[in-house]
């Protein structure tokens, strides 16, 4: 699907017809958004801009030269957008190409950032005179959404910490949930660092208008703040994980202590019953009270062992 944003009669209009590009010039087109584009749509945009669009494989490469590069007439930039799910997060590659001041975006999934910006462009198009301004606006909006995700994760971590503080029973599922939160935190950090690299490259470029540099510097500061938050969240999750493992170890130690105490408690009676179970001549034998005497001796041995354990504070 293609959506072309162009200027006409002092307004921003849209078209979904690739053939409409033949009727427009470079000064007319502002933004071409390609969402799951077909081959004909990509070839049509390439012919209009006289450049080559990047493939999905190129957009997913992690080398610095693949994430951001420039030619005499065109800027190529790739970054990942974080897609939150019910349990885990996914990274989706998005490509940006700017040629002749026209922004081309290529994506495979619907993104809230693009939907919101498209609505804003229709309402206040004068704030986005070129494709450069639109790209900066997309990055600014995306960082705001990433900040919201980090805030939600911080609240979720606080809930887990509260459950541990209240003495809630922890289990394997609890540890798996913490591990998933750690994975999500690392993905968020990776996503933000990727934006930081891209914006740093943009700030070094002489092709972007000077009036967008102020916003870019603010975004860089916001990213630094978000990185500090993600680092704190990750450290907090590690501390929480260690606390949970410590509690599990304490519970296991208590169980082992009880089993050990029971085993040691019944060792004297077991020894006595073993001795008197032997088919040999033994003392205190020869009348009907033998069985009672043996039982009494066994109980006394249990009581003595219990007193010794209490005295040594082993129980």
One digit per residue, the tens of pLDDT, for the chain of length 315 reads 888 887 887 778 878 888 877 777 888 888 888 888 888 888 888 888 888 777 777 666 656 556 788 888 888 888 888 887 766 777 888 888 888 888 888 888 888 888 888 888 877 777 888 888 889 888 888 888 888 888 888 888 888 778 777 767 767 777 777 778 888 888 888 888 888 888 888 888 888 888 888 888 898 898 888 888 888 887 887 877 777 777 677 677 777 777 777 777 777 777 666 766 655 445 555 555 666 666 777 777 777 777 776 776 655
Residue 11 is part of which domain span?
2-249
Nearest alpha-carbon partner for 215 in 226, 205, 225, 202: 202
Number of domains in the chain: 2
| Domain stops at, among 222, 249, 276 | 249
Same domain, 138 and 274: no
Q: Is residue 113 in some structural domain?
A: yes
CATH number at residue 202: 3.30.460.20
Same domain, 239 and 289: no
Same domain, 138 and 280: no
pTM for the whole structure? 0.73
Instruction: Name, in order, each residue with C-beta under 8 angstroms of 111's C-beta and a sequence gap of 6 or more.
Output: 81, 92, 94
Same domain, 16 and 151: yes
């Amino acid at each position: 699907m293609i959506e072309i944003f162009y200027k006409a009669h002092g307004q921003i209009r849209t078209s979904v017809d690739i053939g409409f590009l033949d009727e427009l010039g470079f000064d007319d087109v502002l933004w071409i958004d390609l969402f799951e584009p077909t081959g004909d749509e990509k070839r049509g945009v390439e012919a209009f801009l006289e450049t080559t669009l990047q493939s999905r494989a190129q957009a997913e490469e992690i080398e610095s030269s693949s994430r951001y590069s420039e030619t005499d007439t065109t800027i190529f930039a790739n970054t990942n957008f974080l897609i939150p799910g019910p349990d885990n997060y996914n990274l989706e590659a998005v490509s940006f190409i700017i040629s002749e001041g026209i922004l081309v975006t290529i994506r495979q999934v619907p993104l809230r950032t693009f939907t919101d910006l498209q609505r804003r462009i229709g309402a206040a198009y004068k704030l986005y005179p070129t494709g450069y301004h639109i790209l900066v606006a997309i990055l600014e909006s995306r960082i705001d959404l990433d900040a919201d995700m980090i805030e939600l994760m911080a609240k979720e971590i606080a809930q887990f910490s509260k459950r541990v503080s209240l003495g809630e029973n922890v289990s394997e599922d609890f540890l798996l949930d913490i591990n998933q939160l750690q994975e999500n935190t690392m993905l968020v950090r990776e996503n933000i660092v990727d934006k930081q690299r891209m914006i740093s490259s943009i700030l070094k470029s002489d092709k972007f208008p000077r009036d967008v540099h102020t916003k870019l510097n603010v975004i860089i500061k916001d990213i630094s703040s978000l990185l500090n938050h993600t680092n704190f969240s990750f450290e907090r999750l590690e501390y929480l994980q260690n606390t949970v493992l410590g509690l599990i170890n304490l519970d296991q130690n208590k169980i082992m202590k009880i089993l050990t105490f029971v085993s040691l408690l019944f060792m004297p009676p077991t020894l006595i019953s073993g001795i008197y179970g032997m088919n040999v001549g033994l003392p205190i034998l020869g009348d009907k009270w033998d069985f009672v005497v043996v039982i009494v001796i066994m109980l006394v041995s249990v009581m003595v062992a219990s007193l010794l354990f209490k005295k040594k504070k082993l129980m």
